[in-house]
Structure 1
Amino acid sequence: MTITPGALPASEAAQHNGAALAAAASAVASVLPSTSPLQVGAPSPGTLGSAMAYAGAALASFEGAVSGNVAVVVGQELVDALANSPLGSLDLAAAVQPALDAAAQALGARVGAARTVPLDLVVNDLGHPFTVVPLQAPGTSAALFLQDEALVSAAQAAQVAAEAAATAAPAATAPAQVGGTTPAPRGLELLHGVIMDVTVELGRTRMSVRDLLALTPGTVLELDRAAGSPADLLVNGRLIARGEVVVVDEDFGLRVTEIVDESAAG
C-alpha cells in the first residue's frame, strides 16, 4: 500500500500512514467488546472476500475534513452475545459505535452514526481500495477495515493543521505522538459499553380503536397502577428495576428502589 498525501515524500507518507493505521487499530482493540485483550495483527490489502470469515459488520462514514469510510467486522461470538443478551437482542451497530469513534479519533477525525451492513455488502459499501487489520484474542476474532482514501485525507488534514499551527505559534512544541496512549484497563465483560434504550413506565391500559380515536386534550386515562405505586424501569423492553418518580431540576427522574431479579423480570 503506497499512499502519498499532499506534498509529503512517498517514504514519509508511507511511514505516516503506517503509524496512523496502527493507532486506529489499537484504538479499536482497546474498546471493542471482547472477553480478553485484542491483539493487533499485520495489515494487508483488502479483497472482495475479506469479510466472509466474520459474522457481522458495522460501517460508518467520516465527517468533516476527513473523507472515506471505516468498518469493524466481528466474529460469531460477539454476534451471538448480542442476540442472546439477558436484556434482549442488542444492536451490533450500537455495540461497535465506540470502536469506530475511537478509530476516527486516532486519525484526528470523527465519524457519523454506525449502521449494520450485511457481510456480502460491506466491502462494496466501504469502497476500494482498503486495508484490513486483524484483531485477535483467544476465542475472539475481529478486524478493522479502513478505506485508503480516509488515510490520505487524514494525512492531508493533519499536514494542513500542522502548517497552520506552525504559522500561528512558531515556538517549538513537543511532537504529537500517534497511538502512544495507554489502552484503558480491560477486564470488561463482553457487552460493557453497549448503548441501550431505557424507559420508565408509569402503567398500562387497554383501549379500543374507537376510544383511541375519541381522545381529546384533557382526557384522563386510568392506568393499571394505583397512585403511589412504583414505576417500572425497562431496558430494551425488559423489566429490570422499579422506583419512584422524582423531579430533578425541573426534569423527571426515577429513584430506584428495587432491582428485579431475572425470574421476576421474565
Structure 2
Amino acid sequence: MTATTPEALAEAVAEAAAAVLPSVSPLVLGPVQPGSPHVAAAFAGGAVAELDGGVPGVVAVLVGRELVDALASSPLGGLEVAAAVQPALDAAAHRLGARARAASTLDLEADDFDIAAVLGGEFSTVPLIGTGIAGAVLVPATTLAGAREPITADPAAEAVAAPVEPAAAPEPFVPAFGTGPAAVVPRGLELLHGVDMEVTVELGRTRMTVRDLLALTPGAVLELDRAAGSPADLLVNGRLVARGEVVVVDEDFGLRVTEILDAAATA
C-alpha cells in the first residue's frame, strides 16, 4: 500500500473520512495518537461500522457536541448520528481496501461504555480539528495490519480525478484527550449542509388485506387514496416537507415542487 507504516495509514484513513464528515469549516488532521480509554470523554457522539472485504475489525468516528445538537434539533426531526457519519465511515473503509457495513450509533454516556471493547483492543486515534476538536477517527491495530489496497472501479480514472494537494498548513495545537473538548462557536443548521438525506416522492397510499396482497398479479391496478392530478408528497427521512407535480425529465420521472410546507405543519 502507499501508506507504509501504521501511523501513515491511520492518517490517510482519517484524511479520507475528514473530507466528507459534516463540518462548517475544513477539518485539519491532528497528529496520530495511541488509543486511550479516555478519548470518548472529549466527544458527544459517534458511530462505528464493521468492515467487509477481507479487512478485519471496525472503524469508528467520534464527533463533537455541536454536530450532535444540530442533528437533534434539525427542522426535519431528530437525525441519527450514525446516518450523518456513514459517508465518513464509507470513505475510511474505502481507504483501507474494505467496505463499511451500516453504522451503529455509539452511546458514549453509558456507564459501561468501553471504547477499547468496541474496537476490539489497541487502536490509533487521529483528531480532526475545526473550531476546536470537531471529531476523531479511531482505527484498531488489527484493522491497520490487515488493510488492503483502496477499492476502486477504475484506478486510472481515480488518479486523473485526484485533487491537487494543498500546501501544508502549520500543525495545529491539539490538547490531550481526557481534558474535555475545546470551546467552539455554535453553528446550528450549517453543520448539516453536507449530510445525506433519503428523499422519497409518494403518489398515494392504500390499505390491503393479506389475502388481496397475495392475490396481486402483473397488470393488477391499485386504487390509491388520491385523486388524479393531485400533487405528490415529497418526504425527507419519512417527514413531509413539500408537494409537487410529477414530470418526466429525459425519460426519468421528476418532481416539480409547487408547495413548501413549514415546520409547524409537518411536525
Structure 1 CA distance for aligned equivalents of residues 9 and 84 of structure 2:
23
Amino acid corresponding to residue 197 of structure 1 in structure 2:
E
Matched to 2:195, the amino acid is V
Gaps of 5+ in 1: 6-12, 162-175
The DSSP-based 3-state class of the residue aligned with 2:39 is coil
- Deviation track 1:94-129 (CA, whole Å, cap 9, x = no partner) reads 111111122222233332221112221443121111
Runs of at least 5 residues in structure 2 that lack an aligned partner in the other structure? 152-158, 167-188
Are the structure 2 counterparts of residues 180 and 62 from structure 1 closer, same or farther at C-alpha, using a change threshold of 3 Å? farther
**2:260 — aligned with what?**
259
Structure 1 residue 147: deviation in Å?
0.4
Structure possessing the higher radius of gyration over alpha carbons: 1
- Counterpart in the other structure of 1:128: 121
Q: Is 2:145 the counterpart of 1:152? A: yes
TM-score, normalised to structure 1, is 0.70
Contact 2:116 2:122 in 1 (8 A): no
> Quick one: which amino acid aligns to residue 130 of structure 1?
F
Q: 1:114 to 1:243 in 2, by over 3 A?
A: same
| Structure 1 residue 86: Cα displacement | 1.3
State the match for 2:84 in structure 1. Answer: 95
Distance in structure 2 (CA, Å) of the matches to 1:26 and 1:181: 14
When the two chains are superposed, the root-mean-square deviation of aligned CA atoms in Å is 3.5
1:82/1:90 contact within 8 Å kept:
yes
Which residue of structure 2 aligns with residue 83 of structure 1?
72
Whether the aligned pair in 2 keeps the contact of 1:63 and 1:112 (CA below 8 Å) is: yes
Letter in 2 for 1:237: G
**Contact 1:136-1:142 at 8 Å conserved across structures:** yes
Seen in structure 2, the aligned counterparts of structure 1 residues 21 and 180 have a Cα distance that, compared at 3 Å, is: farther
Shift of 1:255: 3.4
Share of identical aligned residues, percent? 56
- Specify the code of the residue in structure 2 equivalent to 1:104: A
One-letter identity of the residue aligned with 1:92? V
The superposition leaves residues 218-247 of structure 1 with CA deviations (integer Å, 9 ceiling, x where unpaired) of: 897673x44312111111233222112346
Instruction: Name the residue aligned to 1:173.
Output: none
TM-score by length of 2: 0.70
Specify whether residues 100 and 82 from structure 1 end up closer, same or farther in structure 2 by C-alpha distance, changes over 3 A only: same
Distance 1:219 1:107, change over 3 A: closer
Does the Cα contact within 8 Å between 1:61 and 1:111 map onto a contact in 2? Answer: yes
Which letter maps to 1:35?
V
